[in-house]
Every structure is written in C-alpha cells, then in structure tokens.
Amino acid sequence: MSPHIEAGEVVHKALKYAMDIIHPGMPVIELCQRVEERIIAQGARPAFPVNVGINEVAAHYTATRGDKLVIPNNAVVKIDAGAHKDGYIVDAAVTVSLGTNAYDGIVKAAREALRAAYESLRPGVKAWQIGEVIESRIKSFGYRPIYNLTGHRIEQYNLHAGDVVPNYGDRTASQALRPGDVYAIEPFATNGKGYVKDLNKITIYRLIRTKLKGKQEYLDNIYRVARTLPFSPRWFPEIPEEFFAEAASRGALYGYEVLVEEAGGVVAQFEDTFVIEEDGARPLANTLELAQ
C-alpha cells in the first residue's frame, strides 16, 4: 500500500476515534492528545497538532500546555486531524454537534458541500469551479461559505503547496487540476458573515528557518520531530514557553493565529484529501463515510 493511502486510513481511524470519545465536559487537551497518540500508535506521524474548533472558532486552535478549556454542551465542534507517512500528508476534518440538533443544518451544509466538491473533481477542472460548487451547495441550505479560508494543494512534507481551492467561485484560483495532484478540500459553512479574523492568539507554530543563534538546540529538536510541518509547544516539554513567541519574533518560527468567525457565527467544516485521477478523484481519509 502506498504511504499516502496508509496515511489516509490512519486519519480515517483517528477521526472516527475522536467522534467516539468526544463528550461535553471532556478537556480539549485530552481530546487532542488521545487523537495524536492514536495517529502515532498506527505507525504514522501527526502532520500538525489536532485542531479543535468550538462554535465560532473556525481553525488553528489546538490545546495549549495545561489548557483548561473543556468541550461544552450544545455546541458545534470541528476536529481537524492530519497524519503523514514519509511526508505523504493527509489532512481531514469532521464536525459534530453535541447535546442539540439546532446545528444539524449547518453541519449538513458543510458535509454536502464536500460531497459535491468531490463529485466534481477530475483533471482539467479549474480550482475556482470547485469553489463555485462549494458555495452554491452551502447557500442552498441557507448558509454562507467562509470566503477567506481555502483548501490547498499538498506536496511531500508541504501542507500548503501554493495552489488553493477557494470556498466560492474565486476566478483568481485559475489552475486546472492535473492527474496525480493532491488537494485538501475543506468547505466551511457559517450562519455568520462568512469571514474569519485573527483572535491574536497563537497555539500552533511552524519552523521556517533552521538556524537560530543561542537557541539552535531547540530548533534542532523541532526539526527532528516536526520537520517544517506545523507543531504544538505541547510536543516539546523541554522547551520553555517563552521560546516560541521569541523565535517567531526573530523569524525562525511562523505562528498561526487562531481564526474566529467575524460576526461570532457558528462554523462547521468537513475536509478530505484527494488524489486526482484520470476519471475522478480518490478520497484518502474517506471523511464522508464518517457519519455522526
């Protein structure tokens, strides 16, 4: 089996496990750690820290060291997990709603948008056309896509390889899909404005320079574990907390801001990673088969 297909099975099982164990009152740090451990136990590496986005938090939140945040009741929770084998990355996400059916529509809108996008994948299709399919499917349920979040092409050890797949018909995403391309596609649906903004809080970093005077040992540790893929400070208990912000300000690390819906709207997300094939596409994590 190819490493990419193996990584897809790892992510499928990790997301299924997350859906089984998540419950109101569960510490978010426990959810993140247990899902990351499940990825490692299957012989893969996390491609990034498990992201847990509650209600209006759209992306880039992972538990901090000693995090006190707990999964609430009557909430929508997005679980976004990634694994890689030898750098072949699979990035996928599901949304669950807990203790209420008030959000069933918004969850369904995001899921059906991913399904419609999948069905439209084939060589020659332009990325903006996928975005148009996503937008119209989400709107058919009465919600908005998040206009300033996108899917992305993936390369070995490179989670965001330049080309994007927008969540609306953005003509600037003009590239055509080619056989062998790998794309993560991630529709986000919201009852808010349809835009995310920075929360001015960083929980995830990525190494962007391999040299840092006086702190080389820390950077070497990070490179050994995460290469240039996103990581959580939780993974490096030996590194003092102040290091991360300092290294970011010195240009050695990139910090991902937590992203929240501008109007405080609830956000749902589904994501899978697809390999473009001659007659369509192959979903690697089979996210659409993970029913709540």
Active-site residue list? 80, 91, 152, 160, 186, 271
- Part of the chain binding Mn ion (CB under 5 A), chosen from 36-44, 120-128, 164-172, 265-273: 265-273
Nearest to Mn ion of 138, 184 (CB atom): 184
Q: Return all residues near 126 (Cβ < 8 A) that are at least 6 apart.
A: 173, 174, 175, 176, 177
- Residue 80 within binding range of Mn ion, rule CB under 5 A: yes
At its nearest, how many Å lie between Mn ion and the CB of residue 155? 13
Residue recorded with tokens 């920075």: 198
Nearest to Mn ion of 56, 243 (CB atom): 56
- Residue 112 within binding range of Mn ion, rule CB under 5 A: no
At its nearest, how many Å lie between Mn ion and the CB of residue 47? 9
At its nearest, how many Å lie between Mn ion and the CB of residue 27? 22
- Residue 91 within binding range of Mn ion, rule CB under 5 A: yes
- Residue 89 within binding range of Mn ion, rule CB under 5 A: no
Distance CA(121)–CA(279), nearest Å, equals 9
List the one residue from 28, 138, 165, 184 that touches Mn ion (CB under 5 A): 184
- Part of the chain binding Mn ion (CB under 5 A), chosen from 69-77, 136-144, 217-225, 267-275: 267-275
At its nearest, how many Å lie between Mn ion and the CB of residue 94? 10
Residue recorded with tokens 């659409």: 288
- Part of the chain binding Mn ion (CB under 5 A), chosen from 28-36, 63-71, 266-274, 284-292: 266-274
Interface size with Mn ion, residues (CB under 5 A) = 5
Distance CA(142)–CA(199), nearest Å, equals 26
- Part of the chain binding Mn ion (CB under 5 A), chosen from 3-11, 73-81, 102-110, 246-254: 73-81
Asked if 185 and 288 count as a contact pair (C-beta separation under 8 A), the reply is no
At its nearest, how many Å lie between Mn ion and the CB of residue 93? 5
Nearest to Mn ion of 56, 80 (CB atom): 80
Which residues contact Mn ion by CB under 5 A? 80, 91, 93, 184, 271
